[in-house]
Amino acid sequence: MKANTKNLFKKAFETLELLQQKKITPEDAKAVSNIVKQANNLLKYELDKAKAIEKFENIEIKNIEE
Amino acid sequence: MEHMVIESKLKNHGYKVDGYMANFILPTRSFLFYHNYDFWLITHNGELDSLDAKSDLIREISKGKIYIEDAYVIYNNNGRVPFDQALKEERLRGLNLRRYVREVNYSYYAGHRQFVITTNTKYIERCVRADIIKENYEKSKIYLKSNGYSCLMKELDNLYKLNEVISYPFNLEYQLIKNIETLIKKIKNESKH
């Protein structure tokens, strides 16, 4: 599975559904949600970076991170 | 693309179908329908000519209730709203995972009006699989062209348009990230109960 936003969204959606149907335990759901959250934060960072690069010309990555 | 051949009744009843007669038993009619994010090509020999027979087949395959509706209404209600915009609205309303929309399985004309046979599908799931629908549409196009079913291209385009999910990639990314955050919150809330 590629870690893109659509797949993460799908995974989170499926996990919530399985939890509501009580097919997985709350602990398992929490574990999955934590991983999804971390991956989502990375993708969010990438999106913000792309937005900053598009908005400001000649910006360096270290400037965004600082 | 799934290709389902409905064998002739003659064949099923044990008649000899070799030689010259075999030409008459080969499936001569065909139609397309959409199910489970894929397009199905059905070739038959007249058994599925009636709408009732087609409805029964769709009911059998989809294993759910089927509806017959006006194509115009479905086309305007069922996904003409871009996915990113719909996601935003859904999130603001609290992200209802049980929202169902109609999946168009088959379309036909009665008089000058176009009608469709539809079944229920989960809205979010359909949107998540929008890429698969597009991929299968491209594959089906190639299959139809290479197997001599070019006459069904218009039907394929029509079915794809009725089931298409529109989205604008850049906005979509942002909305998806926001919705994942909402889903994570929901999972954590559910886990507490």
Domain ranges of chain B: 2-192
With beta carbons under 8 A apart, name residues in chain B contacting A23. none
State whether residue A48 sits within 8 Å of chain B by CB: no
| Stretch 119-158 of chain B: residues touching chain A, C-beta under 8 Å | 124-125, 128, 131
State whether residue B98 sits within 8 Å of chain A by CB: no
Q: What is the DSSP string of chain B?
A: -EEEE---HHHHTT----GGGHHHHS--EEEEEEETTEEEEEEESSTT-SHHHHHHHHHHHHTS-EEEEEHHHHHHHSS-S-HHHHHHHHHHHT--TT-EEEEEEEEEEETTEEEEEEEEEEHHHHHHTHHHHHHHHHHHHHHHHHTT-GGGHHHHHHHHHHH-----HHHHHHHHHHHHHHHHHHHHHHHH-
Q: Do B125 and A47 touch (CB under 8 A)?
A: no
Report the residue from B128, B173, B191 with minimal CB separation from A47: B173
Report the residue from B173, B186, B191 with minimal CB separation from A5: B173
Q: Do A9 and B131 touch (CB under 8 A)?
A: no
Give chain A's domain count: 1
Q: What is the span of the domain harbouring residue A11? A: 5-65
With beta carbons under 8 A apart, name residues in chain A contacting B186. 16
Mean pLDDT computed over A21-46: 91
Q: Do B188 and A20 touch (CB under 8 A)?
A: no
Burial class for B146, CB neighbours closer than 10 Å (0-12, 13-18, 19+): exposed
Instruction: State the nearest Cα–Cα gap between A62 and chain B, in angstroms.
Output: 23
Q: For a pLDDT cut of 90, what percent of chain B falls above it?
A: 5
B27-72 pLDDT, tens per residue?
678 888 888 888 988 888 777 778 888 888 888 888 888 888 888 8
Instruction: State the nearest Cα–Cα gap between B102 and chain A, in angstroms.
Output: 20
pLDDT < 70: residue spans in chain B: 6-27, 78-81, 168-170
Single pTM value for the model: 0.73
Instruction: State the nearest Cα–Cα gap between B128 and chain A, in angstroms.
Output: 6
Mean pLDDT computed over A10-38: 90
Report the residue from A12, A44, A47 with minimal CB separation from B183: A12
Res B56: pLDDT: 86
Residue A35, pLDDT > 90, answer yes
Res B22: pLDDT: 52
Q: For a pLDDT cut of 90, what percent of chain A falls above it?
A: 30
